[in-house]
Structures are given as structure tokens and as C-alpha cells.
Chain A
Amino acid sequence: MKWLQKHANLIIEITCNLLVVLFLYAAISKLLDYQHFKWQLNQSPFISTYSDSLSWIIPITEIGISIALISKEFKLEGLISSLILLGCFTTYIIIILSYSNHIPCSCGGVLSSLGWKKHILFNLSFMFLNTIGILLTKHKKSIARLQGKTENL
């Protein structure tokens, strides 16, 4: 526990930067191959109706979360939004799996070559890392708040 507290800053920064690599990579890959990504969304039984708007909303959200994760002020918000987004993706994959194995993955770059099940494992490991990041950031913020209060006394 002491080790975790001592290295909290380093763990938070590494977690945030790993998430930045993941989201930026996914977003840029989607935008580079936009037509293919849009077609992949069209193949989905649930979201094909919204494929036009989603094909822009998803990469823009990923870039927005990456910016929040890099910034100092919105780090916690970025971590929470990335956990929500990863949760949505994982739920979507689980629902899709109950439909068919042949629906193409609308994920960016080499991630689409992962199988659906490997993709769930991949997402879950990032969600685990993300949760640790959120807990440590909250812990750090509450300590800073307490220190501020004691200084005011």
C-alpha cells in the first residue's frame, strides 16, 4: 500500500499515457480509413441506422478523451470518460457476440484483427488499469484537499 502511494503519480501518468496511445491510435486509424470504418458500422445490426453520425462521434470522442487525459485539470474527468467509453465498447462486443461472429469489428487499425473474445480481454485489462488510475487520482485529490484544509486552520 505504501509503495502504491509512493508511486501514485508515476502510475497515474503511465495509465493516462497508455490510454492516450490506445484512444489516439484507434481514432487516427478510423479517420485514415474512414470509408471502411463507416462500412463496418453499417454491418452492425444495432447501430447501422446511426452509422453516419457515429462514424464522426466515436473518433472525435476518443480524441477529446485523449486531450483530457493529457491535461492537468481534466485528468480525472478524462479517466472517468475513458472508463465509460471502454465499458460501452465492451458491452457492445458482448451483445454482438450473442448475435454473430461474422460481424466485422469497427475498431481502428490492428485492433480489428483481434478476435472478439481477445478484444474483450484487451478491453477488460485496460478497464482494470483505468479503474486503478481513477482510484489513485481521487485519493491524491482528497489528500490535497485535506492538506489545504489543515493549512487554512
Chain B
Amino acid sequence: MKNSFLKIVLPALAIMLAVGLSFATETLNSSVTGYYDDPAIPGVQSTTTDCMQQPSGVQCETPEGFPLYATPDLDNIPNNELRKDE
């Protein structure tokens, strides 16, 4: 009984957990924190967005029209823009 638990049930549980987690966190990954600079507010502001850091696509903006970035460094580092497929 103990042997079959170790040899069959435990690996099956491990596989199910891995597959389930990867699909579950795939949905979670679709929402990320985006950073932008509103000149009227001091400092860098953040918001949640479904855009991603990817090489192509349209750069995402806040409803007020401020461009979104992946880190608070904004456009001071290359490839930091959050984009969405067209």
C-alpha cells in the first residue's frame, strides 16, 4: 500500500500539480503592473495592465494617455515598454 502510494500516486499527483499550476499561473501572468509618469503627480505611478514586455505591438497607455513601462525606470532603460499585439 505504502509502496504503491510512493510509486504511483505521488508521481501522478506531482504531474497533475505541475500541469494545473502552469495553466493557473498562465492566467495570472496575463495581468502585470505597469508604470507611468503623470507630470501632475510627483513620482512614478503604477497600474495593472494586461500588456506585456514584448518586441512588437502597440505601446500601451493609461486611459489618460501616459505610456506604460515594465519597471519604474520608465524609458531610461531600453526595451522597457509594455506592448500589446495589434
Residues B21 and A17 in contact, CB atoms below 8 Å apart = no
**How far does the alpha carbon of A70 sit from the alpha carbon of B12 in the complex, in Å?**
9
CB of A32 within 8 Å of the partner chain: yes
CB of A9 within 8 Å of the partner chain: yes
Smallest CB separation, A19 vs chain B (Å): 9
**How far does the alpha carbon of A66 sit from the alpha carbon of B15 in the complex, in Å?**
9
Who on chain B is nearest to A104 by CB?
B53
Interface centre among B15, B18, B19 (most CB of A within 10 A): B18
Residues A32 and B22 in contact, CB atoms below 8 Å apart = yes
Chain A interface mostly helix, strand, loop or mixed?
A: helix
Smallest CB separation, B44 vs chain A (Å): 15
CB of A39 within 8 Å of the partner chain: yes
Residues of B with C-beta under 8 A to A13: 6-7, 10
**Chain B interface residue count, Cβ-Cβ cutoff 8 angstroms:** 26
CB-CB contacts below 8 Å: B57-84 with A = 71, 73, 77, 79-80
Smallest CB separation, A4 vs chain B (Å): 17
Residues A21 and B28 in contact, CB atoms below 8 Å apart = no
Q: A102-B73, A109-B29 are in contact. Are A20 and B22 (CB under 8 A)?
A: no
Q: A28-B19, A29-B22 are in contact. Are A36 and B52 (CB under 8 A)?
A: yes
CB of B1 within 8 Å of the partner chain: no
CB of B14 within 8 Å of the partner chain: yes
Residues A109 and B26 in contact, CB atoms below 8 Å apart = yes
Residues of A with C-beta under 8 A to B73: 102
CB of B41 within 8 Å of the partner chain: no
Q: State the 8 A-B residue pairs at the shortest beta-carbon distance, nearest first.
A: A24-B18, A28-B22, A17-B14, A25-B18, A20-B14, A29-B22, A109-B25, A13-B6
5 A-B contacts (beta carbon < 8 Å): A13-B7, A17-B14, A24-B14, A28-B18, A110-B28
Contacts A39-B54, A66-B18 known; 7 new A-B pairs at CB < 8 A: A13-B10, A20-B15, A25-B21, A29-B26, A32-B23, A70-B11, A110-B29
Interface residues of A (CB under 8 A from B): 9-10, 13-14, 17-18, 20-25, 28-29, 32-33, 35-36, 39, 42-43, 66, 70, 72, 102, 104, 108-110
